[in-house]
Amino acid sequence: MHTLSTLDPDFETRFSRIVNARREADSNVAGQVSSILADVKGTGDKALVDLTQRFDGYALVEDADWVVTKERMAQAYSEIDQDLRDALELAAARVRAYHEAQVPDDRDYTDAVGARLGAIWRPVDAAGLYVPGGRAAYPSSLLMNAIPARVAGVERVVVVTPTPKGNSNPIVLAAAHIAGIDEMWRVGGAQAIGALAYGTERIKPVDVITGPGNAYVAEAKRQLYGVVGIDMVAGPSEILVVADGENDPDWTAADLLSQAEHDPTSQSVLITDDEGYARQVEDAVDVLLATLETGKRARESWDSHGAIIVVNDLAAEAPPLANRLAAEHVELAVDAGLAEQLLKDIRHAGSVFLGRLTPEAVGDYVAGPNHVLPTGRRARFSSGLSVLDFMKRTSFLALDQNALEAIGPAAAALAHAEGLPAHAKSVEVRLK
């Protein structure tokens, strides 16, 4: 049911369906989100009160109902198990080290005509981070979003997170303590994105919004792009595993289901050159699904969107298929030499995991590279979250008389050609 082969006469039709599968929100979500954002823009805190009560069953009445204090974050950190504290600290340290290497250098130089040129990188003033708190709570997402912002030098880092029935996940709060979050608001959904973008009586607006969420959160970010900066419009999770028959099918089954368990609309795809192994993996998936607490959700994802593709030659056929999928996560579970070759040939992927001992799940937590990645084939034109998402570049130019004389006449000529005489005049009056 899940398996197709490049030798099948209808392979192209079936594979195109996988590539073009619409696994994201329908138009009804867009309309609802537009209404929510208009409500937040128009009535501010009142809208947040009404919508939080409606969607999360939580009343925002007193000041203490709105925020998680730094003292509460610190308390949560002190109360969680030592093993979890150590794991969070290890993850934070590795993520910080990886992202510190991303900080760009300013440029300042003088060219051959004597013109001084350059660019200065500066952080945004305020960043808003969305941290899910509905179906699952993800302390790892908080670290992955907050630490690059801190490394970039953002002064005000704000978290919004839903707290259904008033419940906050203590591990998320502990992660917020580690990351040094300035504000943590107990609101979620599209309304929280609207509050960060427009500002309300209580919540000051931010310059950039990042972080994953459900279809309503993703749609709110899409609609508000331009009002604020956004990292990306994230859709359902994806994994592509490229594996030969030398792998343990149980390992590959676990890798595929590691993304399927996120959401019924997640997508898990295996490309292999061993038909017998393909059957073993499908059997192993069925066995593992029966044991997972998330089995119902993962089963729905696997049945609806899972696929196993059998090819004749991994080196020749896997890269073009992978490039068409442009998946969020790509595992290359093959020997080192082939993995390096495939890495060079796969141009479109959010993040790549090399070798049989590098499961994608490690990258979700403690590896260092960011796990906030483009989905829905957006890896064709976008990248994972980085320090640069929290920074902007300002160019500068300085001319002396000699430099102006060297390049000014050309500028004036182009201005005249474009029918902009004032542009030309502003140059010409400075020429000898």
| Amino acid at residue number 432 | K
What does the pLDDT read at residue 233?
A: 87
Core vs surface per residue 199-210: b (16+ CB within 10 A) or e = ebebbebbbbbb
Residue type for 54, please? R
SS (H, E, C) 202-236: CCCCCCEEECCCCHHHHHHHHHHECCEEECCCCCC
Question: Range(s) for CATH 3.40.50.1980 in the chain?
Answer: 3-24+235-367, 27-112+122-230
Exposure of 276 by Cβ count < 10 A (0-12 exposed, 13-18 middle, 19+ buried)?
exposed
Considering the domain delimited by 3-24+235-367, tell me its CATH architecture: 3-Layer(aba) Sandwich (3.40)
Q: How many residues does the chain have?
A: 432
Handedness of CA 269, 275, 279, 281 (dihedral sign): negative
For residues 286-316, b (16+ Cβ closer than 10 Å) or e, as one string?
eebbeeeeebebbbebbeebbbbbbbeebee
pLDDT number for residue 213: 87
- Residue 96's pLDDT is 98
Which pLDDT value is given to residue 21? 82
pTM over 0.85, yes/no: yes
Q: Which of 183, 219, 261, 328 is catalytic?
A: 328
What pLDDT, on a 0 to 100 scale, did the predictor assign at position 25? 57
From 262, 329, 348, 371, active-site residue: 329
Is residue 62 annotated as part of the catalytic site, yes or no?
no
- Active site annotation includes 340: no
For the chain, list residues with pLDDT below 50: none
Write the pLDDT tens digit of every residue in 168-180: 899 999 999 999 9
CB 271 within 8 A of CB 303: no
Looking at residue 1, its pLDDT comes to 55
27-112+122-230: in CATH 3.90.226.10: no
